[in-house]
Chains A and B, each alone.
Chain A
Amino acid sequence: MTSAPLISVSELRRTYKVKTTGGWFSPTAELKAVDGVSFDIRPGETLGLVGESGCGKSTTAKLVLGLIPATSGKVVFEGKPVAADSKRAWREQRRRMQMVYQDPLGALDRRLPVGTQAMEPLDIFGEGTKVERRDRMLALFDAVGLPRTSVDRYPHELSGGQRQRVVLARALMLRPSLLVCDEPISALDVSIQAQVINLLKDLQEQLGVAYLFISHDLKVVRHVSHRVAVMYLGRIVESGRPEEIMRAPAHPYSQALISAVPSPRARGKERIVLEGDPPSPVDIPKGCAFHPRCPLATDRCRSEAPELHPFGEQRHVACHRAGVSITSARGAA
């Protein structure tokens, strides 16, 4: 695919100043929520952003949409830079990029019928006549698999899965080319998750919308993404096609992450269990951020932070020891 990227993010950084204790005079430290993230998303494709808590994936989502300003770096959407300044140009861009959150009940107003809420984006941007808006809303309700009878229902009268569909319909009202989904199915029952996963894929095929799909759940990300980026402490440590990464992860953290996912097929297989908890984004270790927990760490890892470099076709890894398998290193030891 040689088409220009729909959205291009380069060296995005976002730091917060935090107080280390609660008082007025405590020293401030830097919290590096996002520490130099770059990626492209092509039209109609899905980039899965995967990582555990504190890795910066939700902050990245907000930076991409321009909901919070970046400390440095830039985001270019459909050829134009995204400025997080709430001015007119940005608000125009927002028609083309929307967000879907984890909690569908929280995303909907309890007091309004869902049909009205779904039409709101059209009302806000003044698109079409009243009749046209309603028609579009009904068409999208059909597309997301909601019965027309639900148009006048209130959010609490619908199930979790149905609510998430309403949220999706609303997000698609303005024909966005990019949908940022932040853990869109984590709050749903497992048997419903499959419905929404399939729906997202079908909508992508029908409408050509691209997704930035953020999740901690590798299994889901594998199913919906064309490309995956693994984040750790604000940086992307590995990116590439999901199948390649899941089958043969190159970065030690990816290896641990994938090995940690329990699978009925691989019961009793040897797992890579990392020591300790991830350090806080307030004091990121020098050198490679992962080295304190990495079973393969060397002196170089402790002093020199690795950059993302190409590793095979369409793959990038940020590791000095990329491609070394932890389990075989163990076996050899």
Chain B
Amino acid sequence: MLAYIATRVGRAIFTIFLVLTFSFTILAATGDPALLIMSVDAPPEAIEAFRERYGLDASVWQQYIGYLGNLLQGNFGQSLRDGRDAWDVVVERIPLTLALTVPAFLLKIGIGIPAGIYAALHRNSFLDRLVMMISVAGYTVPSFVLGLILILIFAVNLGVLPSGGQDTWRHAILPIVTLGTAGAAIIARYTRSAMLEVLGQPYIRTARATGVPWPKAVRRHALPNAAIPTLTVVGLMVGSLIAGAVVVESVFSWPGVGRLLISAVANRDLMIVQAILLLVAVCMVTSNLLVDIAYGLIDPRLRGRSGSRKT
């Protein structure tokens, strides 16, 4: 089990490293930030000074090494706009984003999983078909379309909810619903197919044949096995808790990490972008790691005791 975890941690670190390198390379290739930030008719000396100040005059390779070196010391660079520490700029937005994504996540699993289980248990019934149709609608409608529709209905026509900003808890309702819908739909589908797959397995037949009452068979035999694939999807969603709300934050003018990312990219604010990407990578990788560990805990077949069958 320890070896299992150690392997996964090693791979996680490697993945983060790859993301860093990749994003650094791409950003470096997209143009000179100095020219973008300083206005067009700034004098060349000012541009040079800007470059020098932020180390942009060194070669890309040197910048890269310098960046890695700084990272290891906990220095994420400065924002090119106002010179503040990139880390601070990003971190102060995190709670705002979480205020949306965490309730949305709870909504997703709170609705998605029971809906999926119900649909699987009553396969081909009217409710099953209804749930599946709604779920298809849920994840095919793009979130900004859904967001705008909800704004139209609730803010413009009915006037019961605000359309943007983040002053009161009411402001959070529409964004949370928008965020949660697609996720709930996806989880419902996944849970349903995981359950259906499990319900068709021989050991469920055994449970019934040994006289286990059906509700108990579902609870104790089917659900634990269906949890395994469902966990993957849920795990991925956990990974996107920080940066999964980019579009929704924009639609609802919610000043979270997502909106910060958009403006930083537009402004070529390299360090901010790198910092956010790093954050996202760490989140994704950590949640994958946790999912893998959870797998090992739930599914005894993965605990790596292969080859030695007893007699």
Contact present between A and B (CB < 8 A): yes
Contacts of B302 in A (CB 8 A): 22
Task: Indicate if the CB atoms of B6 and A22 lie closer than 8 Å.
Answer: no
Docked pose: A19 CA to B304 CA in angstroms: 10
- B3 part of interface (Cβ distance < 8 Å): yes
The winner among B305, B306, B307 for most chain A CB atoms within 10 A is B307
- A263 part of interface (Cβ distance < 8 Å): no
- A328 part of interface (Cβ distance < 8 Å): no
Task: Indicate if the CB atoms of B304 and A23 lie closer than 8 Å.
Answer: yes
Answer whether A277 and B3 are a contact pair too, CB < 8 Å, given A21-B304, A22-B304, A23-B304: no
- A26 part of interface (Cβ distance < 8 Å): yes
Contacts of B304 in A (CB 8 A): 21-23, 26
Smallest beta-carbon distance A289→chain B, Å: 14
- A18 part of interface (Cβ distance < 8 Å): yes
Within 8 A of B (CB), among A253-268: none
Contacts of B303 in A (CB 8 A): 22
Smallest beta-carbon distance A150→chain B, Å: 33
Contacts of B3 in A (CB 8 A): 21-26
Task: Indicate if the CB atoms of A21 and B6 lie closer than 8 Å.
Answer: no
Docked pose: A26 CA to B302 CA in angstroms: 15
Q: Which single member of A21, A24, A25, A279 contacts B311 (CB below 8 Å)?
A: A279
Contacts of B14 in A (CB 8 A): none
Contacts of B30 in A (CB 8 A): none
Smallest beta-carbon distance A325→chain B, Å: 25
Task: Indicate if the CB atoms of B4 and A280 lie closer than 8 Å.
Answer: no
Contacts of B7 in A (CB 8 A): 23-24
Smallest beta-carbon distance B64→chain A, Å: 29
Task: Indicate if the CB atoms of B309 and A277 lie closer than 8 Å.
Answer: yes
Contact size class for A? Answer: 10 to 19
- B73 part of interface (Cβ distance < 8 Å): no
Contact size class for B? Answer: 10 to 19
Q: Which single member of B2, B4, B6, B307 contacts A29 (CB below 8 Å)?
A: B307
Task: Indicate if the CB atoms of A22 and B308 lie closer than 8 Å.
Answer: no
Answer whether A282 and B311 are a contact pair too, CB < 8 Å, given A22-B4, A24-B7: no
Task: Indicate if the CB atoms of B311 and A18 lie closer than 8 Å.
Answer: no
Cβ contacts B289-311/A at 8 Å (1 or 0 each): 00000000000001111111101
Within 8 A of A (CB), among B1-40: 2-4, 6-7
Name A54's closest neighbour in chain B (CB-CB): B309
Docked pose: A235 CA to B305 CA in angstroms: 27
Cβ contacts A264-287/B at 8 Å (1 or 0 each): 000000000000111110100000
Task: Indicate if the CB atoms of A21 and B305 lie closer than 8 Å.
Answer: yes
Docked pose: A29 CA to B306 CA in angstroms: 12
Cβ contacts A23-62/B at 8 Å (1 or 0 each): 1111001010000000000000000000000000000000
Task: Indicate if the CB atoms of A23 and B6 lie closer than 8 Å.
Answer: yes
Docked pose: A25 CA to B303 CA in angstroms: 14
- A20 part of interface (Cβ distance < 8 Å): yes
Task: Indicate if the CB atoms of A20 and B308 lie closer than 8 Å.
Answer: yes
Task: Indicate if the CB atoms of B6 and A19 lie closer than 8 Å.
Answer: no
Task: Indicate if the CB atoms of A24 and B6 lie closer than 8 Å.
Answer: yes
Contacts of A278 in B (CB 8 A): 311
Contacts of A23 in B (CB 8 A): 2-4, 6-7, 304
Smallest beta-carbon distance B10→chain A, Å: 8
Name A20's closest neighbour in chain B (CB-CB): B307
Docked pose: A280 CA to B307 CA in angstroms: 8
Docked pose: A280 CA to B7 CA in angstroms: 27
Name B306's closest neighbour in chain A (CB-CB): A22
Smallest beta-carbon distance A54→chain B, Å: 10
Contacts of A21 in B (CB 8 A): 3, 304-307
Contacts of A29 in B (CB 8 A): 307
Within 8 A of A (CB), among B253-311: 302-309, 311
Docked pose: A65 CA to B4 CA in angstroms: 38
Contacts of A280 in B (CB 8 A): 307-309
Docked pose: A58 CA to B76 CA in angstroms: 59
Task: Indicate if the CB atoms of A18 and B309 lie closer than 8 Å.
Answer: no
Docked pose: A24 CA to B4 CA in angstroms: 8
Smallest beta-carbon distance A79→chain B, Å: 40
Contacts of A24 in B (CB 8 A): 3, 6-7
Contacts of B4 in A (CB 8 A): 22-23
Name A278's closest neighbour in chain B (CB-CB): B311
Interface residues of A, Cβ cutoff 8 Å to B: 18-26, 29, 31, 276-280, 282
Closest A-B pairs by Cβ, 6 of them? A23-B3, A22-B304, A276-B311, A277-B311, A21-B304, A24-B7
**What would 9 A/B residue contacts be, using CB atoms closer than 8 Å?**
A19-B307, A20-B306, A22-B304, A22-B305, A23-B6, A26-B304, A29-B307, A278-B311, A280-B308
Interface residues of B, Cβ cutoff 8 Å to A: 2-4, 6-7, 302-309, 311
- Contacts A21-B3, A26-B304 aside, 9 further interface pairs with beta carbons under 8 A come to A22-B303, A22-B306, A23-B3, A23-B4, A23-B304, A24-B7, A276-B311, A277-B309, A277-B311
